[in-house]
Structure 1
Amino acid sequence: MSDFPTVTSPDAPDHTPDHTPDRTPDDAPRSAPRATTVTVGQYLATRLVQLGADHVFGLPGDFNLSLLDQMVTVDGLHWVGSTNELNAAYAADGYARLRRGLGALVTTFGVGELSAINGVAGSFSEDVPVVQITGMPSTSQKAEGAHLHHTLIDGDYEHFYRAYREVTASATIVRAATATRDIDAALMTALRESKPVYLGIPSDVAVATVHAANLRHPLVAATSDAGELARFTTELAEAVASATRVTMLVGPQVHRRSLEPLVREIADHDGVYVASQNMSKAVLDESHPASLGTYMGAFTRVDEARAAVDEAPLLVLAGTVMSDFLTGFFTQRFDEDQAVELGLTAARIADTTFYGVRLEDSLRALHAVLGQTSRPAVTAVGHPPIADAAPPVPGAPLDQEHFWAAVQGWLRPRTTVIADAGTSFYGALDLVLPDESDLLGQPVWSSIGYTIPATLGASVALPGRRSVLFVGDGAAQLTIQELSTVLHRGATPVVFLLNNDGYTVERKIQSPAAVYQDIAPWDWTLVPAAFGAADRVVTARATTQDELAAALELAHATTDKALLIEVVLPPMDSPRLLTVLTEAIAHAAQRR
């Protein structure tokens, strides 16, 4: 079947969300063959649907209205309106991570695209393929240098396009004559490099007519160079043959390529250990005998797990990112140069780099080579969960230790755990996640407030899963308005609002009593009512151990509504991992 778009009237109502079971881009909806010509907006929308990005986030603005009117006529495309453009970028990012494919957002020129640029920069930092689509003034207005609103009143319409060139893998202002090529090239770049791309579409170009012939064939990701892959496989076989044990450290790029099932198959070979970086926690179920849990250099929770990575006879770095927060501030003891490195588009064995070898193929080669050799079975290292919470003491105040211990026993399999930068993320990292669960966070870019809009993206991407969000009060004040979108779309996440009266991470690093560490106090349990969603959410407030126990029981019993649980914690208390990390940061700052 070809994939020409089925189009409806531009005046058709907005698409409503589809509450279908978990779905991957491979079984995303396909459009029926109808039109032989389409508008540029329809062409772009059809390509997004073909690639599984069938939900587009954003806001309308006068320069993108013509574009949106064309895009929403394409069957299978669903519009998800956000409360601001930054949140739309965060939501598209979360959607792309959970769908293991593209995310997309549409903004208006200038004010809208600049609002979104922080979110897109985070996607670039963390290898998330997001398509940022900006509706621009017409080509004639640009040519005239007209002093329009949303411009800098200097006749230059490319200021913001140039800004996006710094935070995307490609930035293109689409021309009518080359529109299909421009769009396809940008989408292929996003897929190939797992990075965001920018498409600026002038209002007249959005409605220009182009041939639909290319849409017969959905875009296909690039393949590896056959010769380089063969050379890599031969040398990999030699390296594996002499190794008594193989340890694989798995990074977030494995998620971007949807390669978790292949990691599980590799983990089933004898003599293989698998550790994850914190941005890919639970890439292998943490109950698996080969799992070492999360590796963070000196801050790895279990000494034996750290040794299994640092002292591995053969270490394979699969899709890793060697940044400060992912390596325990560069306290890893292994020699990166002597490891086998499997990157998104190249592989390396010691001093030899094999260009054009894609991550999916290098991992398949590793799987095949391991199947042709033998090693003794590994001894399960284990990474015990946080100690069970003691029975709640009525009236006893909460602290971080008791809270996370209680959460450990409360979590259930097949949960998407979402944790904001700071207290929430580093508390969640010490959890042993139940099987078939994910941790969604942003430890490299670490933009606080990311997770509430990302929860929107996650709930749209995987409507059959329940999300559990941990977010601090300071972070929540940046983006809490997107919770209204989550609730009004009918999602039922459990939101733990960790109220520790300000910016605890910064307090732990320096100047804890400084006025800039404080935030305005909010009555968090009244927020859903202010959003007009009181009937869609159950709220609770926990200041003591027994109140937390009751709130957790309520969360298990309530599945048809969202829950917002405000958890009141001491301002200077922090989870184990955050305590040691902030001490390291503070010590480094003192040395400077």
Structure 2
Amino acid sequence: MSVPTPDVLPAPDATVTVGAYLATRLRQLDGPHVFGLPGDFSLGLLDEMLAVPGIEWVGCTNELNAAYAADAYARGRRGLAAVVTTYGVGELSAMNGIAGSYAEDVPVVLVSGMPPTKARAEGLLLHHTLVDGDHDHFVRAYREVTAAGTVLRAATAVGQIDRLLLTAINEGKPVYLGIPADVAVARVPAANLALPLRRSPSDPTSIQQFRAALVALLAAEPSLTVLAGPRVHRRRLEGELAKLADLPGVRIATQAGAKAMLDERHPASLGTYMGAMTRSAATRDAVDGAPLLVLAGTTLSDVLTGLFTHRFSPEDAVELGFESARIGASLFHGLHMDDSLRILHEVVAERGFPPLPPLPKEPRPGVPDAPDSDVLTQGQFWAEVQQWMPEGVTAIADAGTALFGALALHMPHNSDLLAQPVWSSIGYTLPATLGISLAVPEHRSVLFIGDGAAQLTIQELATILHGGHTPIIVLINNAGYTIERAIQSPHAVYQDITSWDWAALPSVLAPGVPVLTTTVRTREALALALVQARERTDRLVLVEAVLDPSDAPELLVELGRGAARANGAPPPAG
């Protein structure tokens, strides 16, 4: 099989299979790891894809986990990620993960290996179908959670693959690619592979008009406040944000989905903004009362705005989106965020705002006194984590106790926080640890996950262990769904989960692979276990922290009260 390599362009008359063409495009777009599970309709496709030099298969334990892992991989690489499943049963299992990618602006390609074209056309009653002769049920279902999708035909496969991949790149959303078994092995021209896929440049007229409008707007303003969201991170624009922060008269806050995108030690950093749930009154006042507010790549969802308790008016702010910008009633279409953020930096530098007074220094949380040293509290847990957290890590926090504890941390230098606050699918982060470990191997991953969340996706721990990855996993064992207890009916039977022997689990999933496991119930034991975890870089470390089911981080308690009110729950007894 003739497959182009990164250093050799195809001959004008060369051909490759459709599977090889897709794999080569993924490699060109910095997505060489392909996640998924095999199935009879996808075997030919996988054989063609994996014959392409540089493509690596990451076999996962189920399709949902594969989609979660690919999502985190795409976030870490800031590029494209692919999930390959089989038709019907496989693609439906992956759908929750793909929906999360859509909600959180992550470009993942769901590739479904489908029955052959003739079988589809004849409506054969095949396995994995609904035995009604309609083979497009799941194609239609995926239209609801992807930006675009198609079922390939050999004659148009090259153009359709390129179109879908460009859609994912441009819109920052997942796409769906159905590939019948016969089409996967069909040969197509390779010439297009010599032409890299790139986002189209911003419209020059929009650039000029946006710059002029921004100059006029800033002329009368005394300073600039930016609320930066996760879409800045998706576009790899942290550098532009940092350059903007270096200018006088600029303050920058980040949303929970983009925490630590700007180094939290930077003099211009306001920290994390979450409406009424913002930890710092100064931060909330700076954002809500800003004379001029720029919303850069933000998502104004319930969790990210503190259940819609933000006091600023989005209509009065300047908005910078993936593919457009807005100043007042003026929309600037075809303006990429990398250009709008760059222009903002240039115009602010030319404007020359006077310096702002230094922000008040907020003390980092200390270790609270504990009248009962035999019980580990949430306050003690997160205070110890704060003191211990090393630089240069990717912290990963699952929805619930883990996320709302981690959001109160001051992240160390050269670190990142990976979370899924918009989609908030518990269990996401364990497979995400696999994806981010492959995407950013130079940063050690530190996962914080609750026991309820871990039970959903724990199988992927086997893939992490057998793959030789060495993250630190801090499992918060509080006997159930604490985030749900915080909202309503804390003692209901549905809030409980079965008890597992967490420390024994790694040896079951990966016999013979060296692992360090510890169970802690006191502050002193936690502090010692964390130090040991940081030192043992040669192996995965699992620290099980046992906490009271009724204890929760302060932010989670606030969220629970607000969510209960929003859902019309009865007030708690007493």
TM range (shorter): over 0.9
Of residues 488, 492, 507 in structure 2, which corresponds to 1:510? Answer: 488
Secondary structure, counterpart of 1:298 in structure 2: coil
1:186 maps to a residue whose letter is: L
The equivalent position to 1:85 in structure 2, one of 63, 66, 71, is 63
Pair 1:272-2:270 in alignment:
no
> Which of 173, 181, 186 is the equivalent residue of 2:164?
186
| C-alpha contact (below 8 Å) 2:488/2:569 kept by paired residues | no
Say if 2:319 is the partner of 1:351: no
**Structure 1 residues 81-103: Cα deviation after superposition (integer angstroms, max 9, x where no partner):** 00000000000000001111111
Paired amino acid for 2:9:
P
Q: Which residue of 1 aligns with 2:443?
A: 465
Matches within 5 A, 1:431-446: 431-446=409-424
CA change 1:533–1:320 in 2 (3 A) is: farther
Task: Kindly report structure 1 stretches of 4+ aligned residues shifted beyond 6 Å.
Answer: 391-394
1:72 aligned residue: 50
Deviation at 1:31, TM superposition (A): 5.1
Gaps of 5+ in 2: none
Offset of residue 5 of structure 1? 3.4
AA at the equivalent of 1:255: H
Alignment of 1:12-31 (within 5 A): 30=6
Gaps of 5+ in 1: 8-29
Q: Tell me the number of residue pairs that the alignment of Structure 1 and Structure 2 aligns.
A: 567
- 1:378-431 Cα offsets, whole Å, 9 max, x none, are 233256354222588995210100000000010111110000001000100000
The corresponding residue for 1:115 is 93
- Which of 423, 426, 431 pairs up with 1:448? 426
Q: C-alpha distance in 2, partners of 1:450/1:382?
A: 36
Shift of 1:583: 1.2
Does structure 1 retain, via aligned residues, the 8 Å contact 2:399–2:420? yes
Q: Give the residue type in structure 1 aligned to 2:271.
A: G
Q: 1-side partners of 2:286 and 2:368: how far apart? A: 32
Q: Which amino acid aligns with 2:162?
A: D
- Identify the range of structure 1 (265-274 vs 552-561) with the bigger mean alpha-carbon deviation: 552-561
Counterpart position of 1:284: 262
What SS does structure 2 have at the residue aligned with 1:522?
coil
Give me the whole-angstrom Cα distance separating, in 1, the residues matched to 2:360 and 2:477.
33
2:227 match: 249
What code does the residue aligned with 1:32 have?
V
Paired with 1:557 and 1:53, the residues of 2 have a C-alpha distance of 31
Describe the superposition over 1:493-549 as per-residue Cα deviations: whole angstroms up to 9, x where unpaired.
000000000011111111111111110000000110111245331000011112112
- Report the aligned-residue RMSD: 1.5
Q: Indicate how the Cα distance of structure 1 residues 91 and 385 shifts in structure 2: closer, same or farther if over 3 A, else same.
A: farther
The 2-side partners of 1:375 and 1:64 are apart by 59
Alpha-carbon distance in 2 for matches of 1:99, 1:352: 34
TM-score between both structures, scaled by the size of structure 2: 0.97
Q: Match of 1:27?
A: none
User: Is this contact kept in 1: 2:267–2:358, CA < 8 A?
Assistant: yes
User: How far, CA to CA, are the matches of 1:555 and 1:275 in structure 2?
Assistant: 32
Q: Work out whether residues 48 and 54 of structure 1, in 8 Å CA contact, stay in contact via their aligned partners in 2.
A: yes
Determine if contact 1:103/1:129 at 8 Å carries over to the other structure.
Answer: yes
Give the CA deviation at 1:117.
0.3
| Identical positions, percent | 56
* TM-aligned CA deviation for residue 376 of structure 1: 1.6
Distance 1:499 1:533 in 2: 23
* 1:289/1:380 contact within 8 Å kept: yes
Give the Cα separation in 2 of the matches to 1:385 and 1:203. Answer: 60
Instruction: Tell me, in whole angstroms, the C-alpha distance in 1 between the residues paired with 2:268 and 2:360.
Output: 9
Whether 1:583 and 2:566 are equivalent positions in the alignment is no
Contact 1:426 1:578 (C-alpha < 8 Å) held by counterparts: yes
What TM-score results when the alignment is normalised by the length of structure 1? 0.94
- Match of 2:17? 39
Contact 1:385-1:432 within 8 A present in 2 as well: no
Q: Which of the residues 240, 243, 251 maps onto 1:262?
A: 240
| Pairing partner for 2:207 from 210, 229, 234 | 229
Match of 1:12 in 2: none
Farther-moved stretch of structure 1 (378-387 vs 76-85):
378-387
Q: Which residue of 1 aligns with 2:3?
A: 5
Tell me if structure 1 keeps the 8 A contact 2:466–2:513: no
Distance 1:67 1:161 in 2: 18
Corresponding letter in the other structure for 1:563: V
SS at match of 1:297: coil
Residue aligning to 1:21: none
Other-structure match for 1:373: 351
Task: Confirm or deny: 8 A CA contact 2:9 2:193 kept in the other structure.
Answer: no
